[in-house]
Structure 1
Amino acid sequence: MSYTDTIEVNQQLEEVFAAVSNAENGPHFFDNVEKVEKLTDGPIQIGTKYQETKRIRSYKAEAILEVVDFVLNKQYKLKSEPNGLIVLNEYTFTSTEKGTKIEFKMKIQTKGIRNLLTKPIIVNILKKENENHLANIKKFVEA
Protein backbone atom coordinates (compact mmCIF):
# COMPACT_ATOMS: atom_id res chain seq x y z
CA MET A 1 0.00 0.00 0.00
CA SER A 2 1.25 3.48 -0.74
CA TYR A 3 0.17 7.08 -0.29
CA THR A 4 1.49 10.03 -2.30
CA ASP A 5 1.30 13.80 -2.02
CA THR A 6 3.00 16.82 -3.61
CA ILE A 7 3.47 20.47 -2.68
CA GLU A 8 5.40 23.46 -3.98
CA VAL A 9 7.36 25.51 -1.45
CA ASN A 10 8.41 29.11 -2.07
CA GLN A 11 11.98 28.59 -0.93
CA GLN A 12 15.30 27.53 -2.47
CA LEU A 13 15.82 23.80 -2.98
CA GLU A 14 18.90 23.63 -0.74
CA GLU A 15 17.08 25.19 2.21
CA VAL A 16 14.01 22.97 1.77
CA PHE A 17 16.13 19.82 1.49
CA ALA A 18 18.18 20.75 4.57
CA ALA A 19 15.04 21.28 6.66
CA VAL A 20 13.22 18.13 5.52
CA SER A 21 16.23 15.81 5.65
CA ASN A 22 16.83 16.76 9.29
CA ALA A 23 14.41 14.34 10.96
CA GLU A 24 14.80 16.27 14.22
CA ASN A 25 12.44 18.81 12.62
CA GLY A 26 9.71 16.14 12.72
CA PRO A 27 7.73 17.82 15.53
CA HIS A 28 7.34 20.88 13.26
CA PHE A 29 6.05 18.75 10.37
CA PHE A 30 3.90 16.05 11.97
CA ASP A 31 1.10 16.99 14.35
CA ASN A 32 1.52 13.84 16.45
CA VAL A 33 5.34 13.70 16.68
CA GLU A 34 6.52 14.91 20.07
CA LYS A 35 10.28 14.40 19.78
CA VAL A 36 12.95 13.12 17.39
CA GLU A 37 16.49 12.54 18.63
CA LYS A 38 19.49 11.73 16.44
CA LEU A 39 21.22 8.56 17.64
CA THR A 40 24.25 8.50 15.34
CA ASP A 41 27.12 10.97 15.11
CA GLY A 42 28.19 12.87 12.03
CA PRO A 43 26.35 14.32 9.06
CA ILE A 44 23.05 12.98 7.78
CA GLN A 45 23.75 10.09 5.42
CA ILE A 46 22.64 6.56 4.64
CA GLY A 47 22.63 4.71 7.97
CA THR A 48 21.85 7.74 10.15
CA LYS A 49 19.37 6.71 12.88
CA TYR A 50 16.85 8.63 14.96
CA GLN A 51 14.54 7.81 17.87
CA GLU A 52 11.02 9.15 17.22
CA THR A 53 8.40 9.56 19.92
CA LYS A 54 4.84 10.26 18.86
CA ARG A 55 1.35 10.12 20.24
CA ILE A 56 -1.14 7.89 18.45
CA ARG A 57 -4.56 8.56 19.84
CA SER A 58 -4.14 8.00 23.59
CA TYR A 59 -0.78 6.22 23.73
CA LYS A 60 2.87 7.03 23.12
CA ALA A 61 4.74 5.13 20.43
CA GLU A 62 8.45 5.03 19.77
CA ALA A 63 10.25 3.94 16.64
CA ILE A 64 13.75 3.93 15.23
CA LEU A 65 13.98 5.84 11.95
CA GLU A 66 16.85 5.04 9.58
CA VAL A 67 18.00 6.99 6.54
CA VAL A 68 18.08 4.40 3.74
CA ASP A 69 18.66 6.74 0.78
CA PHE A 70 20.25 10.17 0.70
CA VAL A 71 21.14 12.10 -2.44
CA LEU A 72 21.97 15.69 -1.49
CA ASN A 73 19.27 18.14 -2.63
CA LYS A 74 17.46 15.41 -4.59
CA GLN A 75 16.14 12.52 -2.52
CA TYR A 76 15.73 11.41 1.07
CA LYS A 77 14.21 8.17 2.41
CA LEU A 78 13.47 7.16 5.98
CA LYS A 79 12.53 3.63 7.04
CA SER A 80 10.93 2.50 10.29
CA GLU A 81 9.62 -0.85 11.49
CA PRO A 82 7.15 -0.17 14.31
CA ASN A 83 5.06 -3.08 15.63
CA GLY A 84 5.39 -5.40 12.66
CA LEU A 85 5.04 -2.72 10.00
CA ILE A 86 7.61 -1.55 7.50
CA VAL A 87 7.08 2.13 6.69
CA LEU A 88 9.18 3.85 4.03
CA ASN A 89 8.84 7.64 3.68
CA GLU A 90 10.38 8.93 0.47
CA TYR A 91 10.89 12.58 -0.44
CA THR A 92 11.99 13.79 -3.88
CA PHE A 93 12.95 17.44 -4.43
CA THR A 94 12.87 19.39 -7.70
CA SER A 95 13.80 23.02 -8.28
CA THR A 96 10.99 25.10 -9.84
CA GLU A 97 10.56 28.71 -10.97
CA LYS A 98 8.88 29.57 -7.65
CA GLY A 99 11.07 27.46 -5.38
CA THR A 100 10.96 23.73 -4.73
CA LYS A 101 8.53 20.93 -5.48
CA ILE A 102 8.40 18.17 -2.86
CA GLU A 103 7.01 14.79 -3.84
CA PHE A 104 6.21 12.50 -0.91
CA LYS A 105 5.49 8.79 -1.08
CA MET A 106 4.75 6.56 1.90
CA LYS A 107 4.94 2.80 1.35
CA ILE A 108 3.58 0.41 3.94
CA GLN A 109 4.22 -3.32 4.28
CA THR A 110 2.97 -5.56 7.05
CA LYS A 111 4.56 -8.46 8.92
CA GLY A 112 2.41 -11.12 10.54
CA ILE A 113 -1.20 -12.21 10.14
CA ARG A 114 -2.60 -9.72 12.67
CA ASN A 115 -1.12 -6.74 10.82
CA LEU A 116 -2.20 -8.18 7.48
CA LEU A 117 -5.79 -8.33 8.70
CA THR A 118 -5.71 -4.84 10.19
CA LYS A 119 -3.72 -3.27 7.33
CA PRO A 120 -6.63 -1.13 6.01
CA ILE A 121 -7.11 0.40 9.46
CA ILE A 122 -3.37 0.96 9.89
CA VAL A 123 -3.11 2.57 6.46
CA ASN A 124 -5.96 4.96 7.28
CA ILE A 125 -4.29 5.95 10.56
CA LEU A 126 -0.96 6.59 8.82
CA LYS A 127 -2.64 8.60 6.05
CA LYS A 128 -4.38 10.71 8.69
CA GLU A 129 -1.04 11.29 10.45
CA ASN A 130 0.53 12.46 7.18
CA GLU A 131 -2.29 14.48 5.63
CA ASN A 132 -1.02 17.89 6.83
CA HIS A 133 2.69 17.28 6.98
CA LEU A 134 3.62 18.77 3.60
CA ALA A 135 1.59 21.89 4.39
CA ASN A 136 3.39 22.03 7.75
CA ILE A 137 6.76 21.72 5.97
CA LYS A 138 5.79 24.57 3.64
CA LYS A 139 4.75 26.77 6.57
CA PHE A 140 7.95 25.98 8.51
CA VAL A 141 10.36 26.53 5.61
CA GLU A 142 8.66 29.69 4.31
CA ALA A 143 8.58 31.33 7.77
Structure 2
Amino acid sequence: MNGFEFDQHIAAPPERVFEVLADPTRASAFLDNITQSTKLTDGPTGVGTVFRETRVVGGKESSADLLVTAYQPSTQLGISTEAEGITVEYHYRLTPDAHGTRLHWACELEAAGLRRMMLPVIAAIMKREDGGHLRKLKAYLESR
Protein backbone atom coordinates (compact mmCIF):
# COMPACT_ATOMS: atom_id res chain seq x y z
CA MET A 1 0.00 0.00 0.00
CA ASN A 2 1.21 3.48 -0.82
CA GLY A 3 0.11 5.59 2.09
CA PHE A 4 0.24 5.57 5.86
CA GLU A 5 -1.79 4.74 8.96
CA PHE A 6 -2.18 6.25 12.42
CA ASP A 7 -4.12 5.27 15.56
CA GLN A 8 -5.18 7.62 18.33
CA HIS A 9 -7.22 7.31 21.50
CA ILE A 10 -9.55 10.27 22.12
CA ALA A 11 -11.29 10.79 25.44
CA ALA A 12 -14.63 11.61 23.80
CA PRO A 13 -17.53 9.42 22.66
CA PRO A 14 -17.52 8.20 19.04
CA GLU A 15 -20.58 10.33 18.22
CA ARG A 16 -18.69 13.52 19.12
CA VAL A 17 -15.51 12.48 17.30
CA PHE A 18 -17.51 11.56 14.19
CA GLU A 19 -19.44 14.83 14.29
CA VAL A 20 -16.19 16.80 13.93
CA LEU A 21 -14.53 14.45 11.41
CA ALA A 22 -17.59 14.34 9.16
CA ASP A 23 -17.75 18.14 8.93
CA PRO A 24 -14.59 19.39 7.19
CA THR A 25 -15.82 22.98 7.63
CA ARG A 26 -14.69 22.60 11.27
CA ALA A 27 -11.12 21.56 10.38
CA SER A 28 -9.71 25.09 10.54
CA ALA A 29 -10.56 25.13 14.26
CA PHE A 30 -7.83 22.58 15.01
CA LEU A 31 -5.62 22.29 11.89
CA ASP A 32 -3.34 25.29 11.32
CA ASN A 33 -2.78 24.64 7.61
CA ILE A 34 -6.50 24.63 6.73
CA THR A 35 -7.59 28.17 5.89
CA GLN A 36 -11.13 27.47 4.67
CA SER A 37 -13.55 24.62 3.98
CA THR A 38 -16.94 25.01 2.37
CA LYS A 39 -19.72 22.51 1.73
CA LEU A 40 -20.59 22.56 -1.99
CA THR A 41 -23.59 20.23 -2.03
CA ASP A 42 -27.03 20.76 -0.50
CA GLY A 43 -28.70 18.55 2.09
CA PRO A 44 -27.34 16.55 4.97
CA THR A 45 -23.81 15.17 4.82
CA GLY A 46 -23.55 11.62 3.50
CA VAL A 47 -22.01 9.60 0.67
CA GLY A 48 -21.69 11.94 -2.30
CA THR A 49 -21.34 15.17 -0.31
CA VAL A 50 -18.58 17.45 -1.63
CA PHE A 51 -16.53 20.00 0.31
CA ARG A 52 -13.89 22.40 -1.04
CA GLU A 53 -10.90 22.72 1.26
CA THR A 54 -8.21 25.37 1.03
CA ARG A 55 -4.92 24.74 2.80
CA VAL A 56 -1.35 25.98 2.89
CA VAL A 57 1.14 23.39 1.65
CA GLY A 58 4.81 24.24 1.40
CA GLY A 59 4.02 27.91 1.91
CA LYS A 60 1.51 27.97 -0.97
CA GLU A 61 -2.27 28.00 -0.77
CA SER A 62 -4.15 25.35 -2.77
CA SER A 63 -7.72 24.09 -2.93
CA ALA A 64 -9.11 20.61 -3.46
CA ASP A 65 -12.56 19.08 -3.55
CA LEU A 66 -13.24 16.38 -0.93
CA LEU A 67 -15.83 13.71 -1.74
CA VAL A 68 -17.47 11.73 1.07
CA THR A 69 -17.18 8.07 -0.05
CA ALA A 70 -18.27 6.27 3.13
CA TYR A 71 -20.55 7.54 5.88
CA GLN A 72 -21.66 5.39 8.80
CA PRO A 73 -22.36 7.67 11.77
CA SER A 74 -20.08 7.12 14.75
CA THR A 75 -18.21 4.22 13.10
CA GLN A 76 -16.77 4.95 9.64
CA LEU A 77 -15.98 7.84 7.32
CA GLY A 78 -14.29 7.86 3.92
CA ILE A 79 -13.13 10.95 2.05
CA SER A 80 -11.35 11.07 -1.29
CA THR A 81 -9.72 13.75 -3.39
CA GLU A 82 -7.94 13.78 -6.73
CA ALA A 83 -5.23 16.07 -8.04
CA GLU A 84 -2.90 15.80 -11.01
CA GLY A 85 -3.79 12.16 -11.66
CA ILE A 86 -3.30 11.01 -8.07
CA THR A 87 -6.25 9.85 -5.97
CA VAL A 88 -6.04 10.06 -2.20
CA GLU A 89 -8.51 8.10 -0.08
CA TYR A 90 -8.80 8.72 3.66
CA HIS A 91 -10.45 6.01 5.79
CA TYR A 92 -11.47 6.73 9.38
CA ARG A 93 -12.68 3.91 11.62
CA LEU A 94 -14.04 4.74 15.08
CA THR A 95 -14.32 2.12 17.82
CA PRO A 96 -15.77 2.85 21.26
CA ASP A 97 -13.79 1.82 24.31
CA ALA A 98 -14.20 2.26 28.04
CA HIS A 99 -12.54 5.69 28.02
CA GLY A 100 -13.71 7.22 24.73
CA THR A 101 -12.89 6.39 21.12
CA ARG A 102 -10.12 4.51 19.36
CA LEU A 103 -9.65 6.23 16.00
CA HIS A 104 -7.83 4.51 13.14
CA TRP A 105 -6.88 6.65 10.15
CA ALA A 106 -5.50 5.20 6.91
CA CYS A 107 -4.46 7.15 3.85
CA GLU A 108 -4.16 5.33 0.52
CA LEU A 109 -2.77 6.81 -2.69
CA GLU A 110 -3.38 5.52 -6.21
CA ALA A 111 -2.17 6.61 -9.64
CA ALA A 112 -1.67 5.19 -13.11
CA GLY A 113 1.31 5.25 -15.43
CA LEU A 114 4.48 7.08 -14.47
CA ARG A 115 2.78 8.92 -11.60
CA ARG A 116 2.55 5.56 -9.82
CA MET A 117 6.34 5.62 -9.32
CA MET A 118 6.01 8.90 -7.41
CA LEU A 119 3.54 7.54 -4.84
CA PRO A 120 6.05 6.47 -2.15
CA VAL A 121 7.59 9.96 -2.16
CA ILE A 122 4.20 11.68 -2.14
CA ALA A 123 3.02 9.40 0.69
CA ALA A 124 6.09 10.33 2.75
CA ILE A 125 5.48 14.04 2.19
CA MET A 126 1.80 13.70 3.10
CA LYS A 127 2.65 11.69 6.21
CA ARG A 128 5.01 14.46 7.34
CA GLU A 129 2.49 17.21 6.49
CA ASP A 130 -0.61 15.48 7.95
CA GLY A 131 0.97 13.24 10.60
CA GLY A 132 -0.21 15.41 13.50
CA HIS A 133 -3.82 15.47 12.29
CA LEU A 134 -5.17 13.00 14.87
CA ARG A 135 -3.10 14.45 17.71
CA LYS A 136 -4.55 17.90 16.96
CA LEU A 137 -8.07 16.48 16.70
CA LYS A 138 -7.56 14.80 20.08
CA ALA A 139 -6.39 18.06 21.70
CA TYR A 140 -9.31 19.95 20.20
CA LEU A 141 -11.97 17.46 21.34
CA GLU A 142 -10.51 16.87 24.79
CA SER A 143 -10.22 20.60 25.52
CA ARG A 144 -13.93 21.21 24.96
TM-score per shorter chain, which class?
over 0.9
**CA offsets 1:19-55 (integer angstroms, 9 cap, x no match):** 1111112223444222111101111100000001111
RMSD: 1.4
Measured in 1, the distance between the counterparts of 2:61 and 2:84 equals 13
Contact 1:5 1:103 in 2 (8 A): yes
Structure 1 equivalent of residue 103 of structure 2: 102
- Distance in 1, matches of 2:32 and 2:108, equals 20
Residue correspondences, number: 142
Aligned: 1:142 with 2:116: no
> Structure 1, residues 88-112: CA drift from partner, whole Å, max 9, x if none?
0010011100001100000001244
Measure how far apart 1:70 and its partner are.
Answer: 0.4
User: What are the residue-to-residue correspondences of 1:52-71 with 2, within 5 Å?
Assistant: 52-71=53-72
Cα distance in 2 between the residues matched to 1:12 and 1:92 = 13
Structure 1 residue runs of 4 or more that deviate by more than 6 Å after TM superposition: none
Structure 2's unaligned 5+ residue stretches are none
- Identity across matched positions, percent: 26
Trace 1:1-143 onto structure 2 (pairs within 5 A).
1-113=2-114, 115-143=115-143
Distance 1:28 1:129 in 2: 17
CA distance, structure 1, for counterparts of residue 48 and residue 96 of structure 2:
26
For 1:60, give the aligned amino acid: E
Q: Which moved more, 1:32-41 or 1:117-126?
A: 117-126
Matched-pair contact (CA < 8 Å) for 1:84–1:112: no
SS at match of 1:40: coil
